Structure 1
């Protein structure tokens, strides 16, 4: 039993350590959320709501105006007409009540009330038709506004510097912007509801003021507690949602890792399903707990606000009864005041409720607009010069460190590559090869030193124009759910059309892949969609190389371009690379040192520094250099264990000459 007890204690200790580690991470996340919470609390108040609501209404209709001006104009017109009709109907109601409860015969009273009754009926019918029109326009506009808001986030994301993804918090800001875009679907409806409530309030307040001015301030006082409570509830919900951004993103990633086909085999073979589901459940429970806390806080404040408003309403009715009973208000006016009070009360509550909804949506919209303005704080700050295909790319004293790392990925790197030349970057993992290739391509900007395309620093170049002169085959290449043709042209066909596509496919070995597809270049390469086909990893890599060969660019970067290829396909790529390089500067990143023999020069990197530079022959001849060391390790097999020795009893029927020959098993020396 002792071993079992020890094992149990060890497991308990491991779980405790894991829990402590998780709690430490959670505390750090909560601290970041608390900073945002304090800032948000300082910015949100009843006064802030009152100040911002008009701006939010204008902002809502401005969003709609940019999409469909005629619909917004019609919506505003319908709202204005509906407000006028509402006021007219309410005034007619008070006239009807006064006529019916006034002195005189019943017939005369009905005759006096008839015009008011007709106005009430006509106003009610017209307002119903206008309400249908308003709802139709709102339903028509809302998804279009939300879709445009989402597209704006996508445009800002594409515009952000690549290094944004290396900064802590960027993805949280992006998630918050996405939620803001989602909230845009409600903003037109909430804005028009607020306007409708305000219009009704003004009409009813005018009537109530005519009947007796003392009732109006009392009614406002009755609605104020609920308004304060609604603002506080909106604040609590917003802050809870804002603090939960990180956990929601974790859950989204876990869902992706669990169900995407790319990981499906490993989820099963590694028996990761239960573990990932447990993680998902843990994060879900944390979100549930946060949601429950926010709901309790909102409910508590809402109950207090409702109770206070209820007492205020009772005070208003008591005041009205006192006015009627003491003769300060006539009975007919008191009857009319009942309708006016009901209308004002409904309008006030609508104004508070719709205002709180719009204010909460406005807070999400702030996240959205802030992201658009700054691209999450990573909008490119580069020049506007348009580069041509470079004749020479020069790197001088280059330094770069990733934001989350204290160690420099590159330090003091100086080199160059010219058009028509193949430069190979080699080194062990973490030596800085891929980082250097991204700096050469302008995907990153250096911290120190410079990368110059001819006479132009990459900081001074327009990034889009620069990237149009770059063709990259990264280690983790995209498998776009597009046609085979689009996967090669990337939506940017050349004047030669399919002839250029097929030429690039032939140079990369992808022509065989295209020939086997059901519809050739027109085949959809997405098995998830109807009619789509799936390719193997090696076939996808050929297409990734074909798209780089097809692109009319001055710089070609190949980062482990043949990792998934068989020897025949790999040989074909490097056989054609020299022809491809005639009009381009080529940077080749690879661990397979036999492939760098094609390079004109080889740069060996270690810990972000240039360790060696020379031709293949020069570096192999340098017996003390790092390249020669790596070359020997890659080609030397003396240290690798040989085949296992067959036990004598493994096959009793084996002939005598089949016994293990230990001399034959010795490796060649």
Structure 2
């Protein structure tokens, strides 16, 4: 077993033991009992048969028979108790890792969410627990038989070596044959495992499409169901071919395994029958040696099989361990930041290119946003406006230069402290399948009613809330609650504004959340929001100029940098300026 797999094993043993200390203890007990059980059974059976053939008397027969029954009864009872408790803890750990993986997706740096390799790593990590492998339960279900098998093999090898050493050779040859069969079977099954994610991705894509309202409408409008059905059919047909091929090869090798087992039994029982008939051993010895030889072969084969299964489990769990060990945003920065004043923000010689790319998206950005200042960032699509905000939100680290908050590099601050300074509403903002209250308070369950009624009024949501059956506790998803509702585009805008106001961060950012609105409606949204923001710092981003007239400063992005900077009055009168041309083209909307 490779060092990486050993590290994976130790990672999960330590992690699971920390969460449930009783878990490894139960498995150790199960391992010891399972490993020692065959010896007691073999010897009690031997003594019972010898007592019967030697006419030892009814009392001795009854005693041995009773011991055999009681021992088996106790063993089965104890195993049931252990297995039930192990199953209960395994179920808990399965849920525990499900939650851990879900939380991890939200805790790793945002850049991972846009990196195809990281997305695939997250998929494989979940697959290690729920699709391709059995997770921590599968790991322990392979570990326990390996160690119990080693205990059993040690004992039966001693018995057979002393009484019939030739049977060791028979058992080992049979194990080699079985091992080849298992190896070949697992080798072809690996093909099946590799093909499954392709089908899974296709199926998941289709189901996501059908669940999304906007796309679901397009599917029906353009009769795209046949196209989606074709995608699923192609994926499943391809997988079915692989599945059938794997099934046929597996069946052939299973036949080989059965034949090897037949030859093994013929050799063992033939040899022992000869020794019994010639008086070299008793009927009790026959039972003991035959049972020991079979137990040896079965235990060795089981160990080999479980080691191979364990290797497969650890390969998948290695992805999960690596994913769970990734650095989290909460570990970024160590300096505390008190949210007691409105901060000053400065981009100093900032340049940026996305990881894995060579082209700069932003170049030499220099701008200072004073406390309480309202800044409008404008420019055509693709000018780098949203990337500017992603850097400010620490979704990515700058490639060159620094972003300062109150004169300190933002990377030095504790991530959770820094994020409390900002409230951002992006163009592609989403609401959760939660209640209105849940979406507005957005995790602030310690004080979920703080200013909620007032914010609902300020966001012009009161009329909507009043007509809903459960008010602010109405679910925003009809699929989860029949009494829920699906908000319109305008209602979503208001809810996003309510969420931003509730957070009460000193810096508020709107990154084109009104792009779907017409220019006049967008202007009204920005104007009202600007009034609600009051003395906080605010950054408004748009390729339209709705927010510019009431902002303190305007930054015009073009060609990956800030081409123009100043007040509305300064820029609108700049001859042949970018801003003046843009405003002239849109002036009719704001007259």
> Considering the TM-score relative to the shorter chain, is it more than 0.5?
yes
Aligned mate of 1:382, from 303, 310, 332:
332
Q: Which residue of 1 aligns with 2:524?
A: 571
Residue 374 of structure 1, CA deviation:
2.5
Deviations 1:423-463 (A, max 9, x none): 11111111111110111122221111211112221222222
Q: Which residue of 1 aligns with 2:437?
A: 485
Q: Which residue of 2 aligns with 1:587?
A: 539
Q: How does 1:507-526 map to 2 (within 5 A)?
A: 507-526=458-477
Does the CA-based 8 Å contact 1:484-1:525 persist in structure 2?
yes
Q: Which residue of 1 aligns with 2:47?
A: 95
Aligned mate of 1:391, from 343, 368, 371:
343
1:164 aligns with 2:112: yes
Does the CA-based 8 Å contact 1:176-1:242 persist in structure 2?
no
Q: Which runs of 5+ in 1 are unaligned?
A: 1-47, 638-669
Does the CA-based 8 Å contact 1:484-1:521 persist in structure 2?
yes
Does the CA-based 8 Å contact 2:343-2:370 persist in structure 1?
yes
1:532 aligns with 2:484: yes
Q: Which residue of 1 aligns with 2:294?
A: 342
Deviations 1:573-606 (A, max 9, x none): 5234145141x32111112313321211111111
Q: Partner of 2:348: helix, strand, or coil?
A: strand
Residue 175 of structure 1, CA deviation:
0.8
Does the CA-based 8 Å contact 2:337-2:417 persist in structure 1?
yes
Q: Partner of 2:325: helix, strand, or coil?
A: helix
Does the CA-based 8 Å contact 2:42-2:288 persist in structure 1?
no
1:440 aligns with 2:389: no
Q: Is the alpha carbon distance of 1:559 and 1:53 closer, same or farther for their aligned partners in structure 2, counting shifts above 3 Å?
A: closer
1:558 aligns with 2:510: yes
Q: Which runs of 5+ in 2 are unaligned?
A: none
Does the CA-based 8 Å contact 1:142-1:186 persist in structure 2?
no
1:145 aligns with 2:93: yes
Does the CA-based 8 Å contact 1:138-1:189 persist in structure 2?
no
Residue 120 of structure 1, CA deviation:
1.1
Residue 345 of structure 1, CA deviation:
3.5
Aligned mate of 1:133, from 77, 81, 89:
81
Q: Partner of 1:385: helix, strand, or coil?
A: coil
| Bigger radius of gyration among the two | 1
Q: Is the alpha carbon distance of 1:85 and 1:276 closer, same or farther for their aligned partners in structure 2, counting shifts above 3 Å?
A: closer
Q: Aligned pair count? A: 581
Does the CA-based 8 Å contact 2:31-2:145 persist in structure 1?
no
Does the CA-based 8 Å contact 2:350-2:364 persist in structure 1?
yes
Deviations 1:388-424 (A, max 9, x none): 4452111122222223654322122211212211111
Residue 56 of structure 1, CA deviation:
7.9
Q: Is the alpha carbon distance of 1:469 and 1:307 closer, same or farther for their aligned partners in structure 2, counting shifts above 3 Å?
A: farther
Does the CA-based 8 Å contact 2:540-2:547 persist in structure 1?
no
Distance 1:331 1:628 in 2: 107
Q: Which residue of 1 aligns with 2:565?
A: 613
Q: Is the alpha carbon distance of 1:323 and 1:139 closer, same or farther for their aligned partners in structure 2, counting shifts above 3 Å?
A: same
Deviations 1:19-48 (A, max 9, x none): xxxxxxxxxxxxxxxxxxxxxxxxxxxxx3
Does the CA-based 8 Å contact 1:163-1:444 persist in structure 2?
yes
Does the CA-based 8 Å contact 1:92-1:116 persist in structure 2?
yes
Q: Is the alpha carbon distance of 1:251 and 1:405 closer, same or farther for their aligned partners in structure 2, counting shifts above 3 Å?
A: farther
Residue 508 of structure 1, CA deviation:
2.8
Q: Which residue of 1 aligns with 2:453?
A: 502
Does the CA-based 8 Å contact 2:156-2:296 persist in structure 1?
yes
Q: How does 1:64-463 map to 2 (within 5 A)?
A: 64-70=16-22, 72-81=24-33, 83-101=35-53, 104=54, 106=55, 108=56, 111-182=59-130, 183-184=134-135, 185-238=137-190, 240-242=192-194, 244-295=196-247, 298-299=250-251, 303-304=255-256, 307-308=259-260, 310-321=262-273, 323-324=275-276, 329-330=281-282, 332-374=284-326, 382-389=332-339, 391-403=343-355, 405-463=357-415
Distance 1:564 1:509 in 2: 19
Q: Partner of 1:396: helix, strand, or coil?
A: strand
Please identify, of 302-311 and 590-599, the stretch whose mean Cα deviation from structure 2 is larger: 302-311
CA RMSD of aligned residues (A): 3.2
Residue 340 of structure 1, CA deviation:
2.8
Q: How does 1:637-656 map to 2 (within 5 A)?
A: none
Q: Which residue of 1 aligns with 2:551?
A: 599
Does the CA-based 8 Å contact 1:91-1:207 persist in structure 2?
no
Q: Is the alpha carbon distance of 1:225 and 1:477 closer, same or farther for their aligned partners in structure 2, counting shifts above 3 Å?
A: same
Residue 515 of structure 1, CA deviation:
2.9
Distance 2:173 2:10 in 1: 27
Q: If the length of structure 1 is used for normalisation, what is the TM-score?
A: 0.78
Q: Is the alpha carbon distance of 1:238 and 1:352 closer, same or farther for their aligned partners in structure 2, counting shifts above 3 Å?
A: same
Residue 384 of structure 1, CA deviation:
1.4
Distance 1:568 1:201 in 2: 79
Distance 2:9 2:157 in 1: 22
Aligned mate of 2:422, from 470, 478, 489:
470
Q: Is the alpha carbon distance of 1:78 and 1:251 closer, same or farther for their aligned partners in structure 2, counting shifts above 3 Å?
A: closer
Residue 255 of structure 1, CA deviation:
2.0
Q: Which residue of 2 aligns with 1:18?
A: none
Q: Is the alpha carbon distance of 1:57 and 1:365 closer, same or farther for their aligned partners in structure 2, counting shifts above 3 Å?
A: closer
Q: Larger relative CO (CA 8 A, sep 6+): 1 or 2?
A: 2
Does the CA-based 8 Å contact 1:541-1:562 persist in structure 2?
yes
Does the CA-based 8 Å contact 1:425-1:589 persist in structure 2?
yes
Distance 1:366 1:131 in 2: 30
Distance 1:111 1:614 in 2: 108
